[in-house]
Amino acid sequence: MTLWLVLAQFLARLATGMVAALWLISARQVASEFFQRKAWILLGLSTVLALTLIGQRAAMVERGVPAAAVWGLPIAAAVFSYAASVGWLYGSQRVGKAFLVAVGVATGSLAILLGHAGVPDWWAPAEAITSGLLIGGTLTTMLLGHWYLNAPGMEIDAIWRMVHWLAWTVAVRAIVAGIGDVALGGASGVPLPFVLLRWSAGLGLPAVLCFLVRGTLKVPNTQSATGILYAMLVLVVIGELVAQLSGLTLAGLA
């Protein structure tokens, strides 16, 4: 049960964070094709999420998740993702971003419903959303850096702003994780190597890499910055997966 639950939580959080990051990127500075392709990624994530949850619907209902939400939310997210891609295809920023909001509401709700394992009910939203913002924000910023290879004349301000937002996201995520580990006792009962890996790879090193990316963009060298963002994405994914496994261990689901 652990593996599919980790996968479902991770995909829901990733999609939610991607939506938030895409909303912060100015459509005046970045071509519509960029947003269209990211909507396709959201479509793929939502489809895999739907297949995963529908296949485990009995176990989900046992955990208290409404049966309608198990299949309804991920399918709705997939439909909205496709609608968003169509909106961006025809150059309609309003339609594209409106459907992105719908995707974020669906995946964010699902991330919260799936995130109750290992944390108090009132803490689940903060845990799920900040995790998603970090994972999805890092992936989207890295993809934005890669987009500069297709459009080298694009304004540097777009990725510059996203890197600063990422730094704040790492800080907020560290605060939420710290409160969870200390005030709520989230680190008790978790093997020390897991705690160290979560804080070093998942939060400490990404914070350092944010400053390295910022310095690289001052040159400016978007290609090198994108390479650093690749490394940051790997570290963030490791850190958040360890955090999810730690939560499931505390909940007795691992």
Pick from 195, 176, 172, 196: which is nearest to 184 by CA? 176
Locate the domains of the chain by residue range.
1-114, 119-254
pLDDT tens-place values along the chain, 254 residues long = 567 778 888 999 999 999 999 999 988 889 899 999 999 999 999 999 999 888 777 766 666 677 777 788 999 999 999 999 999 998 888 899 999 999 999 999 999 888 765 455 667 788 899 999 999 999 999 999 999 888 878 889 999 999 999 999 999 999 988 887 776 565 566 778 888 888 999 999 999 999 999 999 988 888 999 999 999 999 999 999 988 877 655 444 44
Task: Enter the pTM of the model.
Answer: 0.91
Instruction: Give pLDDT, residue 119.
Output: 54
Instruction: Give pLDDT, residue 69.
Output: 77
Rounded to the nearest 10°, the torsion over CA 250, 201, 173, 37 is: -110
Q: What are phi and psi of 80, to 5 degrees?
A: -65, -35
**Exposed, middle or buried by CB within 10 Å (0-12, 13-18, 19+), for 121?**
exposed
Instruction: Give pLDDT, residue 253.
Output: 43
Determine the residue type at 245: L
User: In this structure, is the dihedral angle defined by the CA atoms of residues 203, 209, 214 and 217, taken in order, positive or negative?
Assistant: negative
Q: Rg of the chain's alpha carbons, rounded to an integer? A: 18
Instruction: Give pLDDT, residue 254.
Output: 45
Alpha-carbon gap, residue 117 to 160, rounded angstroms: 36
